[in-house]
């Protein structure tokens, strides 16, 4: 009986050791690049839902890894946020959009409408907008950097292309060009905010709303430039 009991105990101990040696669920060893991409994907959703001030300990739990392992891939939270910015905010912008907006083989209105249809679909998504809004409320440089690197250049291109087509002389003041551009870009960006964050403005098709804003901008363009010139007199 004693021998049998010891055998049963040894067998049970062996099973326990074998079970403890198995990898835990969610902790499968992945190649470095694959694990890093997985962390970044989870981090993007995590910060979009919880804001940029959310703790990395909670993020590590979401990733199914230890906080120590998280910091092996991203030594500081700032490093992680920088990568989120590069890939998820800046990275989704298509450089080809600038070339397409300046392709004068098509009317300016058509070019701008096509651009904003794609921009709304690719960039102004719920995830992107939430990240951008949280970045705007924090001390992170994401939002200001994106505006200075991308949006101001984008608005200058749009304003100059419309002015060229309408044979309108623009002021030398680039700040004025940016403000003119914001009347369109701001309207469409706020439409995306209403649609994705406020859960409003979901009745009309996006294409109709974009066309409406672009045509309003085109029709009022000459008056807008003239108003600026009149205020200088």
Q: What is the CA radius of gyration of the chain?
A: 27
User: pLDDT of 152-204, one tens digit each?
Assistant: 999 999 999 999 999 999 999 999 999 999 999 999 999 999 999 999 988 99
Contact 207, 110 (CB under 8 A): no
Q: Is the pLDDT of residue 3 over 60?
A: no
Q: Is the pLDDT of residue 1 over 60?
A: no
More confident residue, 137 or 211: 211
Q: Is the pLDDT of residue 25 over 50?
A: no
Structure confidence at residue 6 as a pLDDT band (50, 70, 90): very low
Both tokens of 216, joined, read 């309003």
Work out the average pLDDT over 123-148.
92
Both tokens of 229, joined, read 């010139």
For 115-178, give the DSSP string: HHHHHHHHTS-HHHHHHHHHHHHSS-SHHHHHIIIIIHHHHHHHHHHHHHHHT-PPPS-HHHHH
Q: Is the pLDDT of residue 34 over 60?
A: yes
Residue 38 pLDDT: 94
Structure confidence at residue 230 as a pLDDT band (50, 70, 90): confident
Structure confidence at residue 142 as a pLDDT band (50, 70, 90): confident
Q: Is the pLDDT of residue 20 over 50?
A: no
Q: What is the DSSP letter of 34?
A: H
Residue 4 pLDDT: 41
Work out the average pLDDT over 206-227.
97
Q: From the CB of residue 130, how many other CB atoms can be counted at a distance below 10 Å?
A: 19
**Percent of the chain at pLDDT exceeding 70:** 88
Q: Phi first, then psi: give them for residue 28, nearest 5 degrees.
A: -60, 135
Place of tokens 């651009």: 115
Work out the average pLDDT over 81-105.
96
Domains annotated for the chain, with CATH where assigned, are 30-88 (1.10.10.60), 92-230 (no CATH)
Residue 30 pLDDT: 79
What long-range pairs does 42-47 form, CB within 8 A, spacing at least 24? 43/80, 43/84, 44/84, 44/87, 44/88, 44/127, 44/131, 45/127, 47/81, 47/84, 47/131, 47/134
């Amino acid at each position: 009986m004693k021998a049998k009991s010891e055998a049963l105990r040894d067998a049970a101990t062996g099973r326990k050791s074998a079970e403890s040696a198995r990898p835990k669920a969610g902790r499968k060893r992945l190649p470095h690049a694959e694990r890093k991409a997985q962390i970044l994907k989870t981090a993007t959703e995590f910060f979009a839902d919880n804001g940029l001030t959310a703790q990395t300990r909670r993020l590590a739990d979401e990733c199914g890894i230890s906080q120590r392992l998280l910091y092996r891939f991203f030594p500081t939270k700032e490093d992680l946020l920088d990568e989120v910015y590069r890939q998820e905010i800046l990275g989704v912008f298509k450089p080809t959009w600038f070339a397409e907006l300046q392709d004068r083989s098509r009317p300016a209105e058509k070019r701008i409408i096509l651009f904003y249809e794609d921009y709304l679909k690719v960039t102004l998504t719920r995830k992107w907008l939430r990240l951008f809004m949280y970045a705007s409320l924090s001390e992170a440089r994401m939002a200001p950097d994106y505006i200075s690197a991308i949006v101001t250049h984008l608005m200058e291109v749009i304003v100059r292309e419309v002015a060229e087509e309408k044979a309108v002389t623009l002021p030398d003041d680039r700040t004025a060009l940016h403000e003119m551009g914001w009347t369109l870009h701001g309207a469409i960006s706020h439409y995306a905010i209403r649609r994705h964050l406020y859960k409003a403005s979901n009745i009309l098709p996006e294409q109709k709303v974009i066309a409406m804003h672009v045509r309003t901008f085109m029709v009022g363009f000459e008056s807008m430039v003239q108003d600026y010139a009149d205020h200088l007199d």
